[in-house]
Chain A
Amino acid sequence: AQTVTQSQPEMSVQEAETVTLSCTYDTSENNYYLFWYKQPPSRQMILVIRQEAYKQQNATENRFSVNFQKAAKSFSLKISDSQLGDTAMYFCAFMKHEGIGADGLTFGKGTHLIIQP
C-alpha cells in the first residue's frame, strides 16, 4: 500500500512571496503519477499540477512548479508570486500505474496555506 505524508499542517506567507509545500510518499511501485490538488473554502477540489514518475523533468504550470526527487520519494510544490486566491488546503496525491484493478488516488492529510495581504 502507498502512503503520502504532508508534514506541514499549516503555512502562512505574505502576498507575492514564494512558498514551498512538502510531500513525501512511500511506494514499491516504479511507475506512478503524482498530483497536487487545491481545495479552497468552497470545497471544490481543483487540479494544480501533475507529474509522471518516468519523466525526469519537473512539471510547471504558470506560477506553480514541482521539485520531484524520485530516489528520495519527495514531491514538493513551489508557488511563486503568491496571491490571495492561493489560500486553500493543498493535497498531495499518488496514483500507481495499475494494469488490473484500481486503488484510486491516495491523498496526504493536506497543508492549509494562508496568503496574508
Chain B
Amino acid sequence: EDKVVQSPLSLVVHEGDTVTLNCSYEVTNFRSLLWYKQEKKAPTFLFMLTSSGIEKKSGRLSSILDKKELFSILNITATQTGDSAIYLCAGSSGSEKLVFGKGTKLTVNP
C-alpha cells in the first residue's frame, strides 16, 4: 500500500528561524513529489519535484528530492508569521493518484 509520512507532525518556531520539513514516501510507480501549503482553506501548490538532487526555490522556500532514499525536504528560511500553516506532502503514482501525508503544522511566533 502506498504511503507518505511527514515529520515532524507539529513544529513551533520564532520569526527568523529556519525550518526543515521532512517527507518520506513509498509510492508504486513513483512519478513526482508535490508540496502544498494549507492555511485555513484549500491547499495551495508550492512545488513539484520529479528529478533527484535538483533544488527548486521560490523566495524563502526551497525543496529537494532524493529518489534513492525516497524522501524530500522543504526548507523555509527567515520564517515569518505568514508562514504559519499546515504543509502537505504528496506522492504521485503511475495510477494518476496523489497520496498525501498527514501534514506538518508549522506555527511561527513573533
Q: Do A and B bind each other?
A: no
Question: Which residues of B does A touch, CB under 8 Å?
Answer: none
- Interface residues, chain A, CB within 8 Å of chain B? none
